[in-house]
A = this chain, B = another copy of it.
């Protein structure tokens, strides 16, 4: 398989968690979420380059945290931008060669090595692959008149790692910035490329609320 790189996006200020600490630095089982996420990728492949995208303003905090927690797993830190789009683009600028790239949420620490492997394999095969899980609740769409029910059986919730051929992802990020951007797969699709869907994992939660934090605590 081609060379692989992972971009771990931790650009957010994490206001939704309500704490004074950005969410990627919130402590779970004795250390920041982001360290668990880095470790998950290190476990998958200790030799794979890991590019961690952080706001410039958090560089010193992160350095201090790594010292304090004696966290020495190798990773490269890069400054992110205003929105996720800018942060992923910045991380992508650090990726070398034309192998495979995984983009993963820094606050999704419970990803398994199996899932990372399956996403890379699918992207190797088809250029673009993302993990998805069935949507559990009934979903409504807000309309001009109020709202309407959608057919849940046809909906999927998207997770990360989203994996791509590096060249394809670079081309996707050459498109102009769109404020409606939510994930990398959508950008790649605009190039006319079909995204392969990989079966995700219930446990692979994105930790964005205090409730999620408690769940991660229970699971890690």
Mostly, the A contact residues are: mixed
Q: Is A1 an interface residue (CB 8 A)?
A: no
Give Cα distance in the complex from A180 to B208, angstroms. Answer: 32
Give the residue of B138, B145, B195, B219 whose beta carbon is less than 8 angstroms from that of A158.
Answer: B138
**Do B152 and A140 touch (CB < 8 A)?**
no
Interface string of A167-198 (1 = CB under 8 A from B): 00000000000001011011001000011010
Interface string of A139-163 (1 = CB under 8 A from B): 1111001111111111111110000
**Do B183 and A149 touch (CB < 8 A)?**
yes
Give Cα distance in the complex from A135 to B137, angstroms. Answer: 10
CB contact under 8 A between A180 and B151, given known A136-B206, A140-B156, A215-B214: yes
Count of residues in A whose CB is under 8 Å from the partner chain: 44
Q: Is A83 an interface residue (CB 8 A)?
A: no
Give the residue of B182, B202, B219 whose beta carbon is less than 8 angstroms from that of A209.
Answer: B202
Which residues of chain B have C-beta atoms less than 8 A from A195's C-beta? 146-147
Give Cα distance in the complex from A139 to B202, angstroms. Answer: 15
Q: Is A132 an interface residue (CB 8 A)?
A: yes
**Do A156 and B142 touch (CB < 8 A)?**
yes
**Do B208 and A214 touch (CB < 8 A)?**
no
**Do A218 and B208 touch (CB < 8 A)?**
no
Give Cα distance in the complex from A155 to B141, angstroms. Answer: 5
Q: Is A211 an interface residue (CB 8 A)?
A: yes
The closest CB in chain B to the CB of A156 belongs to B140
Give Cα distance in the complex from A214 to B218, angstroms. Answer: 7
The closest CB in chain B to the CB of A218 belongs to B214
Q: Is A63 an interface residue (CB 8 A)?
A: no
**Do A136 and B203 touch (CB < 8 A)?**
no
Which residues of chain B have C-beta atoms less than 8 A from A155's C-beta? 139-142, 150
Give the residue of B139, B153, B189, B211 whose beta carbon is less than 8 angstroms from that of A157.
Answer: B139
State how many angstroms separate the Cβ of A42 from the closest Cβ of chain B: 24
